[in-house]
Structure 1
């Protein structure tokens, strides 16, 4: 979609409170983000590659990439298109990426398959009017079976009666897109018409496997309706991050603090700013540590993409907290790893997906990121490789 801490009490609490909505009370963080035994990650640019706009591949339109993961069984990468079955049925692509310390040398697509419904049919377009349209946003390769888990945001109608409620989901698919079930999501991820749950286009957009495949972590893109307003120029917001077992049992839910809007919008634009969490990625050997991608779009200014090293350690478990507004919450700690404006990229676009790539001889690990061009002429499908230490 488009956009779409610290000693016990003092400095950290003041810093976070200054960026969060005033209705949210933020408690102090135990311990600093850069303890000697746990330094924050650093990143540098290796290279990038732009995929031709609306490239035709096996009769489909390549683009809308909002998720990417590496398949350990084949060494290939799988890209999720967020085409809501408008151009062609909701689908994914496989590709070989030639990536090393010298950059991204080539991107060669090797296959594509539509995601199938339980009855074996493809997902219909929204115009079909049967209430079954999906909004694919993230894909992960199961580290145990190399099958695919993919998240879709569903839909909250703009107004009551304007259309059916489509619940967000995390579904399982085989390697050719066949339906194999779905994950039971937390109750507060449910869209309701009582002004609770995820906002429109701000539901489950980020999932990741951790603890060697035993834990599935998800994040909603923006604050739940009951958790307070979206970020503005003065305040950030809290979004929920949930750790679950593979069968859906909730292990913990935490509040991640997203940044305030970085600049004013063009007053002539009909579009307001859009910000949130489009991707989360677990560190392989640290069960409570994640990379979190924050993506913001502002009319007249474009995109601001930032990458953070964050942890659930010491954060308040909010699974039983009905509303975060006004509650004394200790959020997840975070440290900036990269602001894409400073990386030297040819352009900063709508980056939405990320995954670990191969290790480098330097001891660094590659991080592969992809942008969603929304199938429009003034955007790009950009594949970026960073070296992370």
Structure 2
């Protein structure tokens, strides 16, 4: 019975993940472009998207604590309703050409993304220890559907409202978000039983090499993907002049590369171990950076973003599986919240930095700057390897 219940949870959470990522994809494709039209200063073009990540960052820890108290389902459903209202307000802001209202609505949307970030952990909660990486992978695989839904919505609704470019995209995803309520209403995950101690102090986790490397890999892996993805529409549409359709195609296949491997990443982790998969993710990121620097045609951007998507999959799922493996049931809310707080802080910083560097110094300098953070992951993995060898783990 428990296995059947967990399968149902994974399916519902994967569907909710698909719809959440559809909204995110439409925002990634369009938000910086809307910003470039409405913002008073060019370097503020990515402010709306950056504020989404900031709010997501500020939401993760409170959301995780609310889930401990009230359970996952009500918090997830509340996040979906906020997403629908925020996307609708983004559309209104475009109609009245109000940049600051658009940024405010984008910031509010970050609350929903902060809640949705826990879908993967919710699936792992009721899974057997050996099945946790697979549960996380299958939920994230729901984003594969979003890889097609998001760009198609962006293409077909970009001029849906006459005279107001991009407004129709945001009105459309507001409706899409409401569909999530039907899926999330059926998830069945019991609240964790409270113990007298409440688990180990949070500081003790940062003394655990496996936890630290898991957080570093997931946080920097996500941040560098966001860094590249945030600036790509500005480069492809405004600098390379390849057009909005080319931009949508590049982002679409980037997202396919992010989520298609999730069907087997969990199995790869089970077979080879998370450190091997994380190391592969680092190597793929280095190849993506090389592709982004070697040329400025459509296929160079396409390959670079596709490789970033694949590398993100390995780093994010591998890192998340390490984090999930370290917490007992009564510790999950705090531990997962702290891990996601670090991740969303990194993503918010990377997103805003990408827009500023691209505006001030250009694509090449912006891309080269990604090498430093990627090498931090490599050094963390080397450190974990040395610790494991010394401890014979």
Q: TM-score, normalised by structure 1?
A: 0.27
More strand by share: 1
Q: TM-score, normalised by structure 2?
A: 0.26
Higher relative contact order (CA 8 A, sep 6+): 2
